[in-house]
Amino acid sequence: MIKLIPTAKLQIGMYIHDLNCGWIEHNFLRSRFLVDNEKTLQKIVATGTREIYIDTSKGVDVDKAPAQEESSRTDNTPIKETAPSAPTPVVLGKERQRARKLHAEANRIVSGMLHDVRLGKQIEIEQIEPVVERIVDSIFRQQDALLPLAQLKNHDEYTFQHSVSVCALMTSFARTLDMPREVIHEIAVGALLHDVGKATIPDNILNKPGKLTDAEFAEMKSHVVQSKIILAATPGISPIALDVAAQHHERYDGSGYPNRLKGDEISRYGQMSAIVDVYDAITSNRCYHKGMPPTEAMRKILEWSKFHFNPELAQVFIRALGIYPTGSLVRLESGRLAIVEEQHPDKLMQPTVKIVFHTRGYYLPPETLDLRRSQDRITGYENFETWKIDPAKWVEG
């Protein structure tokens, strides 16, 4: 039986089913293991996670512990569907080609910038500003064109692809919060540069496929301080952009790093970047981490908002991307599988989808379906790998 218990009730002899935190927040080789000594127990507590899943069939149970079945993490989790301010729409098809070129260009620019930082060169904001403005423009025109591309990453280029993804996601997040355009621009600059400190981390640590030593893990975490140092010395960086980068690993309950800031000690921009950074990390495949489907990641964000994130901002982030984010694979009541293509802010459970496959095991002629005008409905999310469907073929197509 899987139970969710307070970490304070964790005991030696319990079997961890799910550490209930993003992979970057812990230094365990596996997420499922037996707590067999005090050192392991204290190391789990040190991650800062407040609740943890145990498997009582494989380890010690806890008497009278507040618990819930893992099955409660379903699509019944309440998520507010309040709509953001009305967008200025552009036909999705017209924006897609432009978004693909922009995504590729942004990745090249960030890759080049990180290379220059490794060589000791200073960041030139003038080289970053134009692509940031184009990303903001694209999100304002039609965010469903650019955001799905954020899910497409490869292992060797993760660091800079993650930066571009966080930039696009933060822009959408800020737009849903109705922030002024000039503030959104500075948020996007900070998001694009938030991991620049990783240029100072050796590749053998940054891309290590196995478990990091404690010393390596500490060095990996130092990238946040390095990002702040590099950006503080960069002419033209705004305080907003600096907060986005310097606070993206702080946590609302004070369990984050590097300064263990708590609540409103973290700027609103830092609170936002903490949510977005984790979301993009846990949905991305790495050599040492298998990404989870976007909808499952949304459930995690909502769950962790009890402690680690600002709960109100977590709700807004879910509203910004949708309950089934664009680019997700979903199952319809008819037994067909479809890619989510476009969100409808007033009907988050009824996006426009492209039907591509049947659960009986064969491809279908692609068909675009607006679920607001259909008797079919989404019954849950699916994993591309389970059905051997290449997401790039459909998201980039």
Q: What is the CA radius of gyration of the chain?
A: 21
Cβ within 8 Å of residue 135, ≥6 positions away: 102, 106, 146, 164, 167, 168, 171, 188, 192
Model confidence pLDDT, tens digit, residues 211-222:
889 999 999 999
Tokens read off for 203 = 């590749």
Per-residue pLDDT of 93-119, as tens digits, reads: 788 889 999 999 999 999 999 999 999
In this predicted structure, the answer to whether residue 81 has a pLDDT above a threshold of 70 is no
pLDDT at 65 exceeding the cut of 60: no
Q: With b meaning 16 or more CB within 10 Å and e meaning fewer, what string describes 235-261?
A: eebbebbbbbbbbbbbbbbbbbbeeeb
Contacts of 259 (CB under 8 A, 6+ apart): 250
**Hey, what domains does the chain have and what are their CATH numbers?**
2-72 (no CATH), 92-321 (1.10.3210.10), 329-395 (no CATH)
Q: From CA 114, how far away is CA 155, in angstroms rounded? A: 16
- At 133 the pLDDT is 94
Residue 271 CA to residue 95 CA, distance in Å, equals 30
Structure tokens at 339: 């890619």
What band does 26 get if pLDDT is binned at 50, 70 and 90?
Answer: low
Judged against a pLDDT cut of 80, whether residue 336 lies above it is answered with yes
Count the helix, strand and coil residues of the chain and give each as a percent rounded to the nearest 5. 50, 15, 40
pLDDT, the chain, mean: 87
pTM, entire model: 0.80
pLDDT of residue 108: 93
Residue 44 is predicted with a pLDDT of: 85
Model confidence at 276: pLDDT above 60: yes
